[in-house]
């Protein structure tokens, strides 16, 4: 009887522990895209709104489930963790396989860096100065 109670408590603990959602790392955003069946091109304005600001490059850190949707860049499936430029992001198309309300895609945006903010590195070796 004690073993059964212990097993039930352990199972409940695992259910509660595994059910917790992990928050995205700093800079990562989960963007919801409309999922009408068919092929849809990403809208840069909606993408910036979902990310929370302007970007120069973006990385798909969490692609949609393959049963739900597939991302394409110029007709080729977009592999996870590939960094694409702003121009390329405007050419990304999403093929939604089902009529769900939304498709979630995890994105990591790289904002533009102002040249004045970059570091100037000077080498000690005179050949590289």
**Average of pLDDT values for 29-48?**
82
% of the chain beyond a pLDDT of 70: 74
Tens digit of each residue's pLDDT (9 = 90 or more) over 81-125: 888 998 999 999 988 877 766 788 888 888 865 544 555 666 677
Give the model's pLDDT for residue 120: 61
How much is the pLDDT for 92?
A: 92
Bridge partners of 85, per DSSP, are 57
Distance CA 17, CA 37 (A): 34
32 contacts 104 by C-beta, under 8 angstroms: yes
On the CB side of 129, how many CA atoms lie within 13 Å of its CA?
3
DSSP annotation string for 45-56: HHHHHHHTS--S
- Asked if residue 52 has pLDDT above 50, the reply is yes
- The pTM for the full model equals 0.61
Mean pLDDT value across the chain: 77
Question: Residue 27's pLDDT is what?
Answer: 63
């Amino acid at each position: 009887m004690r073993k059964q109670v212990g097993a039930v408590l352990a199972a409940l603990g695992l259910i509660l522990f595994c059910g917790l959602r992990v928050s995205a790392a700093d800079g990562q955003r989960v963007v919801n895209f409309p999922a009408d069946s068919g092929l849809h091109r990403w809208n840069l304005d909606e993408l910036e709104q979902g990310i929370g600001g302007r970007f120069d490059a973006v990385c798909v850190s969490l692609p949609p489930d393959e049963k739900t949707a597939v991302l394409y860049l110029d007709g080729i499936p977009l592999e996870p963790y590939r960094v694409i430029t702003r121009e390329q992001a405007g050419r990304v198309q999403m093929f939604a396989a089902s009529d769900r309300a939304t498709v979630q895609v995890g994105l990591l945006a790289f904002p533009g860096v102002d040249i004045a903010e970059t570091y100037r590195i000077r080498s000690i070796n005179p050949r590289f100065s």
